[in-house]
Amino acid sequence: MSLMNEKEAFGKRLTRLLNDAGVGIASPTHVAREFNRRYLGKPVTTQAVRKWLNGEAIPAGDKIRTLAKWLKASPHWLHYGENEKSAVGLKVEEEQSTYEEDAVTLPEDFQRLTTQHKLMVCEIVRALLRAGKR
């Protein structure tokens, strides 16, 4: 498959997932805003999202992982489209691995928080542990 076809196929898969999630593609600005809420790196622009959706570009791996996690799909399927399974089947597989993936990055994510937010997380954890003892 040529690079142009790969980009177009990626755009179609992303469009499908956004529509399935109820986000839609009518507003690339909205998609960019929602993506940036979940992505810890440098924010993406509306133009970048428009290129993804129009099949003009494929984002880097870290962005694909964020998109896939947000839209509950397999990052591999979103990027390559191999084994064209239904999005529902992929969502189930992804949900099973989400906990393990989050557990791996949790300490790193925690370190990025402000001191105030770190204190809030600690309070929540303590409250959950107390609730579990009851």
49-92 pLDDT tens trace: 999 999 999 999 999 999 999 999 999 999 998 765 444 444 44
For tokens 């499908």, what's the residue?
16
Does residue 64 contact residue 79 with C-beta atoms inside 8 Å?
Answer: yes
**pLDDT category, 112, cuts 50, 70, 90?**
confident
Q: What pLDDT score does 88 carry? A: 46
- 94-to-58, 65, 72, 114, 128 alpha-carbon distances in Å: 21, 11, 6, 29, 25
Nearest to 55, CA basis, from 1, 103, 92, 97: 1
The SS3 of residue 63 is: helix
94, with CB counted inside 10 A (0-12, 13-18, 19+), is buried
- 23-to-19, 20, 40, 91 alpha-carbon distances in Å: 6, 8, 20, 16
Q: What pLDDT score does 100 carry? A: 57
Nearest to 34, CA basis, from 56, 4, 67: 67
Q: What global pTM score does this model have? A: 0.63
Domains of the chain from N-terminus onward:
3-101 (1.10.260.40)
